Structure 1
Amino acid sequence: MIEIYTDGASSGNPGPGGYGVVLKAGKHYKELSGGFRKTTNNRMELLAVIKGLEALKTPSHVTIWSDSKYVVDAVEKKWVFGWVKKEFKGKKNKDLWIEFLKLYKIHQIKFVWIKGHNNHPENERCDQLAVAASKDKANIGIDHFYESEQAKETLF
């Protein structure tokens, strides 16, 4: 059994953001993080899940722990599958949901919602990783999809 803990953060929404991931499997432990100059909290929450799943080398049974109701409810309440049928019309983060669904088909995934900032050690660590990544100006990336979508919105 693999456990993936995830968190996303943004300073402003939109603003600089980051994701943090802790992967645990038996004695194995790995941390992942990354930051972007302009993004949203929900994008980072979902990207954390994607990055955690991408780190797995084989199809696995996975429990994903997240404090994001947006992500957990979208999957556990099966909203995202309705969004697919409607081609994500009116929904944000289509690019990330499509990436997530590719990974979802590979693994057997169970989501567990945990309350954020509630002294859960792995969730707190993910938050630290996400916030640090969002502030790491030397390694900050560009969320190209988000920034291009924002540019389109300002044109119309």
Structure 2
Amino acid sequence: MRIVVYADGGCEPNPGTGGWGAVISGTDGAIELYGGELATTNNRMELTAAIRALEHFHDGAQVEMRCDSQYVVKSITEWMPGWKARGWRTSKGFVQNLDLMQRLDELNSLHDVCWIWVRGHSGDPRNERADRLAAQGRREVLR
């Protein structure tokens, strides 16, 4: 049985103060993770949410990762094989957020992850909760 994760990140302004949140739904209930950074970008926070969630699991976990960031989902499912084949370069230069992309690739290889894009702010309670956790992470880092 797959563990379902909703991961979200945001930044206000972008770039600026950001937060990330993740809701992990398993048979034992839900686990909520969140955090933030003072100087970051929206994309870095989206990636961080997925990374922090995957770091929560032991190797070999079966995970359904639901993200409202097409950047994250397409990076891991479509673009990354080409980047790796070109020495972590895009057709136009270096991969942005390389440190996080490489960490995400490492974690993705340790687990059985099914990546799913979900529309943000569409009423899914767990996606909305991940969004609120990201906002909480942003607020708390400013204290």
TM-score, with structure 1 as normaliser: 0.84
**Aligned length in residues:** 137
2: CA distance between counterparts of 1:117 and 1:95?
Answer: 28
- Aligned-residue identity in percent: 37
Letter in 2 for 1:105: S
For 1:48-63, list aligned pairs within 5 A: 48-63=49-64
Ranges of 4+ aligned residues in structure 1 off by more than 3 Å: none
Query: Over residues 38-71 of structure 1, what are the superposed CA-to-partner deviations in whole Å (9 max), with x where a residue is unaligned?
Result: 1001111111000000001242111000000001
Q: In the alignment, which residue of structure 2 is the partner of 1:133?
A: 137
Please name the residue that 2:114 is paired with: 110
Report the counterpart of residue 3 of structure 2 in structure 1.
2
Q: Give the unaligned 5+ runs of structure 1.
A: 139-156
SS in 1 for 2:88: coil
Letter in 1 for 2:27: G
1:86 aligns with 2:86: yes
Structure 2 stretches lacking a partner, 5+ long: none
How far apart, in 1, do the equivalents of 2:33 and 2:112 lie? 21
How many Å separate the matches in 2 of 1:5 and 1:15?
A: 23
* Backbone CA RMSD of aligned residues: 1.1
